[in-house]
Each structure stands twice: as structure tokens, then as C-alpha cells.
Structure 1
């Protein structure tokens, strides 16, 4: 069965995602799809709006056939390691023929050429160019784009890397090269809503996830304002989860109390061990805490943000601090080994067929129940989901430890 791979967050699954799924199947000629999806926290360092189970349900209802969780050791990382972890999982299934991603350009050939030129990077020259750009006060994404363009193709590369989805696409292609994978990269053009668009377009059906989350966070309107931009099944799940108190519409503020407790109980030398903390940032955080005018995460981010440290990087740092991440699992030498299991969140009838085939083709253990597999990466996933669920309005122990209580979703289209 020809299968296309998707790398997603679905936070939440909206009409743009539905369009991407349909065009991915059309472009690849695939009969089935596998989505590698982030769990409780996003690549940009934000808590998920909904549980991973609810978001997997949205994906299956929309037509995805198999949903696999991206371990948090890769889900909350820079683009390079996020992409490497996700592509590694698709490759490890042994059944994926292509990976299709949305991009601003809609072209994969320029990304392939650039990835070939950058193979083996970071070279000393690339590292030096990156250091110079950062020293000029540029944000990391801008500095990376400048350094890569200087080393690998000039203005055309710089223009390409100024687009967030094209940049992710480049890292997907580079991961495929690093793994010597037979999976073919494909791109479909992202339409209407831009990645960072914060407003709901008037009269349109496609809005960015950023705009949808912003609408859900408003005191008035909320779900009804977001409704036109969501498939019917996603809207149904969203309403159910909101009614049950399992919607984290306020984002980081829902986890402010445990976050501040985690930061206040760590000395600067302990904060220095947290991933993403470097160059004295631990002292900046420790000094900012007692001086905040408002005891919320937005105030903290504003107090510690600089040109050098983007909001995204700081949010990832906060995730790591909240979850007490540190040590070998987050070192580059460990990340380079890739994820160590295929954690199934849900599947359709076609997905069941894929899983049957994967029993013969998969390069990693297939995990259906968390209790049946013991690995440090999986323990971090369970902990992340538990902390996330603890922020629900009235969390139940079976929601906090859903990884143990709830089996994968078996989706049967009616």
C-alpha cells in the first residue's frame, strides 16, 4: 500500500490541515497516510491546546490512517532535531514512500539542492558565519538563514530560508540525506493563511493555527469565532473537550503556577543544566523572577527576552525547566541516534493494515501500550502528558496518566 508521511502538530486540526492532507495524498499518489505528531508540547515551546489523544482523534476523523507520537526529546527542539526525529520515525516504519510538507514556495528541488550543498554541515565555516551573525544581535533563525546563504547559495537561499515552512522543509530533506532514506520528499504550497498570521481572515475558510488559538483564548466569541475554520469533526472534539474542562485556551498561563515553582526552587547553577540555557541566561532568569510586575509567563518572557534569545527558544527553555529535563537524552550525540520506538496513538482500518505490515518492516519496536515498554524517552513523554493534563480544570487521575489507562484510538468511519 503506497503511503505518504506527514509531520504535524495539529494544534488544533483545522481546514488548512485538511487541505494539506488531501493534496499530500493527491501529489504522492498514496492510498494511506501516517502522521508523526507532537505530544503535549509544541516545537515552539508552547503547551498543546488539547491532549495528544484529542488531536489524534481529530486527525483520524479527517482521514489520517495512523498517528505516531514524536517523543518530546525531539518535539521541543530546534528545527534541525525536530525534523530529524520525525523523519527518523517515518523511515523506521518501513512502509512510508514519501513525506509531504507544506511550504511557502511549494517547491522541493531548491531545498534538495541546498541540502546537498550543506551535507555534512555544520562545517567550521558555517559555525563561524553563524557565530558572527549572532554576535550582530540577529535572532537564531535569521542568523542561520544568513550563515547558510553565505555558505550555500547566496540571495536565493536567503530568500528561501526566510520562510518558516521552507526552512523546516530543508531540515526534512537534510534528515532524509543523513539517514540515507529512500523516502521521497514532496512539497505542497501553503495557501491563504501564513504561518504567523494572527487574525482570522474575513469570509475565509482557512486560518492559521495561531489565529485559531488566539480566537479560542478570547473571553467572548471563542469557539464560535473559530468554528468556520475547523472541519466538523474537529469542532465536535473541541466542543467536547472544552465542556469537560480539557481545553488549555490560555496557553502557558494554565501552567504558570508549576512553572514558577520549578524556576523558584532552582539555584542558577541548577538552571544552567536545563537544555537551551547558555551564556549566563540562568542568572538573567533568577534575577527577573523577584522583579516581575505581573506574576504570569508573558511578563517573564518579556523580562528575559533579548535579540539573541528568541521567544521560541525561551519558551522551549521553559518547557524543559517545567519538566525537569536535563542530561544525556538531550545531548546531540544522543539525539543523533534517533527515537527508539514507534508509539501508536491511533489508527483507522487502513492503519491497522499498515501496522500489520510494520510488524515485518519496522526498524523500531511498535508500542501500543505504555505499560508494555520501558525506555527513558517514553518515560519523558508520559511525564509531559501528565503535567499537561494536570492543568485541566478538574483533572482526573485517568486523564493525567492516560498513557497507562487509555489504549490507542481505533477509528471506524461511520
Structure 2
């Protein structure tokens, strides 16, 4: 059975994602789709608007056959480590033949040539990034500029810079770098994005809107407002999650515990937290003392500078909320790769893949977390417990069951 991998967050799954799934099958000629999906907290440092089981269910209805959870240790990371963790999972399954990612350019060749140069990190790259940071660039801009300056023959530096300024192109580059560093036989493919741009805040005239625009509609007016832009199955799942009090989840639902944690930590304790760098612990404490309202949005606005992007600050706050230390998220720890393949859901085709993976996977396949122990899995379970505390109401089984649903609930089956 031929399988294509996709790396997703589905926050939530919309019509553009369905297009990507269809294109992934078409371009790869695959019989099955394996999706690596972030859990309750996402790469940009945000809580997902609905939980991971609901999003896995959306994925299976939309055409994925097997959904694996990206450990939170990788999910809430800059592009380099997010990509490395996700690609590692696909590689370790032993059943994935290709990886298809969305990009603004649709130009796999130029991205491949740049990735080939960066896969073995060139001398001077980090120094160039540091120089650009000192000059006031954000980290994504500094990395893009430094990478473009090393563009190989056949790729103009200005063209490379323009290419890497686009978020999906940049993330795709890191997927390609990860494949090369893993010496993986997985074939990379890219599907050009169609319709709305990645950050486009309002829907356009067609049926495809960005996830940003869809979330704005959901937060403002509820699931029905997003109906033109999401598949019918996604809409039904969103309606159910709203009705049962498990959505919408957003940063302000975590304001009280987050502000409590921040306010009761000394600078030396905050400094241990992942992404608290370059004296941010002191800036955080000053910002807390000057807040005019007890909200996460007010805190982010007080912290944000040209140097510190909202994304970096959100990741820092997520690590603070979840007590992720620099040691747990250090390059040395992350370079070891994920320690297991956690199954969130599958179809009948996905079930056949799971049987095949028992022979081919180079990591343990975890269907029941209660039967497996790993320090990354402990972080995942803690993240789900913290996320569930933001639900509007307990489900019929009670809040403790919602918090520790990883132990109680089986993978989603479609």
C-alpha cells in the first residue's frame, strides 16, 4: 500500500485543507494518507480552537486514513524543530513513501536546492542570523535573510529571500531540511496553495478562506458563520463541540492560571522556562506590574516588540503555562526525535497501515497511552489536562475524565 504523509494542525479543518488532501493523493498516487497533527497547543503558541480528538475526526472524514499526534515538545516550537519532529514521525512509520506540503510557490526544485545547502548547517549561518537579530529583525526574517544569502547557484539571493518570506514556503524548506538530515527515502512533493493567503483575516469571494478568517468567524458568531468555508462533517463536529462546552478554546480561557503562574514566579524561575531568552523574564515581570486589564491579549501587547514577534511570545507563554523547561526543549533533547507514534484516529485503510507498521515502524506504536511510558508522552498528557480545564463545562463524565481523556478514550475510528 502506497502512503503519502501530510503535516497539519487543522485549526479547524476547512475547504482549503480538503484541497490539499486531494492534491496530496493526486500528486503522490497514494492509496492512503498519514497525517501528523499537533495536539491541543499549536506551532504558533496558541491553544487549538477545538480539541485534538475533534480535529482528528475532521481529518478522517476529509480523507486522512491515519492520524498521529505530534508530541507537544515539538508542536510548540519554531519551524526547524516543529518540522524535524513531524518529519521524524513520518519517517519512523516505515510505511510513508512521500510527503506533500502546501506552499505559496509550488516550486519544489528551488526549495530543494536551498535545503541541500542548509541541511549541513553552513559556517556563519548562526552568526549571520545573530547579526540580523541585533539589527532588529524578527527571528523568521533573520533566518530567511541568512538562508537566502547562502542560496546556491541557480537561485538568486533576492528571489530566495522573497521565496522564504512566505510562511508555507519557509516551513516547507524545513521539512526538506529534516528529510535530508534524516537521510529519509520519503519523496517530497508540494501542492501550490489556492484561494486565501495564510494570514488573510477575512474570507474572499470563494469557498476557501484561511484558517485565520475561519477562526474569526467562529469566535464572533459560532459554527454556522463558518459553514460556507468548512466541509459538512467539520461543521457538524464544530456544532457538537460548541454545544457540549468543549469549544471555542482561546487564550483568554487560560488568563487566570497563566497570570497566576507568571505573577508567582521569581525572575530566576521564569528564566528556566523554554523561550524565555535575552532577559524576557524581566520584561514579563515589568509588563505584569503595568497591566491595566487581566488578559492574555493585554499581556502580549505589553510584551511585543519588533524583535519579539507575537508568535515567539505566545510560544513562551504556552511553555510557561505547561511548565516546559529549557532543558526539556533543548536542541540536544529535540535532536533525539520523538520517542513513539501516538495514534489519534484511523479509518479501515488506516487500520491496515497500523498492522503494517507493527512490522516496519522503528518506534513504539502507542494506541493506549496507559500502557506506555515516555517523558514526552507525560508532557502530552499534562498538556491535554491543562487544555481541558478551559472547557466551558464538564462533559457528562466529569472534569477529571476530560482532563485525562488520553487514558480513557480510544482512538477515533471512521
What TM bracket, shorter-length normalisation? over 0.9
Structure 2 residue runs of 5 or longer lacking an equivalent are none
Q: Which residue of 2 aligns with 1:162?
A: 165
Q: What SS class does the counterpart of residue 394 from structure 1 fall into?
A: coil
Q: Distance in 2 between matches of 1:230 and 1:118?
A: 37
Cα distance in structure 2, aligned partners of 1:138 and 1:20: 32
- Displacement, 1:328? 3.0
1:177 and 2:180 correspond: yes
Q: CA deviation at 1:327?
A: 4.6
After superposition, what is the alpha-carbon deviation per residue over 1:209-241, rounded to whole angstroms, capped at 9, x for unaligned? 1111111111xx332221110000000000000
**Matched residues in 2 for 1:367 and 1:57: separation?**
18
Q: Does 1:189 align with 2:155?
A: no
Return the alpha-carbon distance in structure 2 between the equivalents of residues 146 and 54 of structure 1. Answer: 38
Q: For residues 248 and 400 of structure 1, what CA distance do their matches in structure 2 show?
A: 16
Does 2:240 align with 1:236? no
Residue 16 of structure 1: aligned partner: 16
| TM-score (norm. length: structure 2) | 0.97
Conservation of the 8 A alpha-carbon contact between 2:119 and 2:178: no
Alignment-derived partner of residue 212 in structure 1: 214
Q: Is the 8 A contact 2:224 2:235 kept in 1?
A: no
Structure 1 residue 397 corresponds to structure 2 residue 400: yes
Counterpart of 2:172 in 1: which secondary structure? Answer: helix
Q: Does structure 1 conserve the Cα–Cα contact (< 8 Å) formed by 2:275 and 2:326?
A: no
Secondary structure (helix, strand or coil) at the match of 1:239 reads helix
SS in 2 for 1:330: coil
In structure 2, C-alpha distance between the alignment counterparts of 1:391 and 1:75, rounded to whole Å: 19
Residue number in structure 2 paired with 1:275: 274
1:320-399 alignment runs, 5 A limit: 320-395=319-394, 396-399=399-402
Residue 2 (structure 1) aligned with residue 9 (structure 2): no
TM (normalized to structure 1)?
Answer: 0.97
Q: Counterpart of 2:135?
A: 136
**Within the alignment, does 1:224 sit opposite 2:224 as a pair?**
yes
C-alpha displacement of 1:23: 0.6
Distance in structure 2 (CA, Å) of the matches to 1:20 and 1:151: 30
Contact 1:248 1:254 in 2 (8 A): no
Determine if contact 2:45/2:315 at 8 Å carries over to the other structure.
yes
> How many residue pairs were aligned?
406
Ranges in structure 1 where 5+ consecutive residues have no aligned partner: none
Paired residue secondary structure (2:241): helix
Worse-matched range after superposition: 289-298 or 322-331:
322-331
**Which digits, 9 at most, give the CA deviation of each residue in 1:378-401, with x for residues without a partner?**
000001011111100113222111
State how far apart, in whole Å, the 2-side matches of 1:168 and 1:145 are: 11
What SS does structure 1 have at the residue aligned with 2:328? helix
Moved over 6 A (4+): none
1:284 & 1:246 partners in 2: Cα distance? 33
Deviation at 1:124, TM superposition (A): 3.7
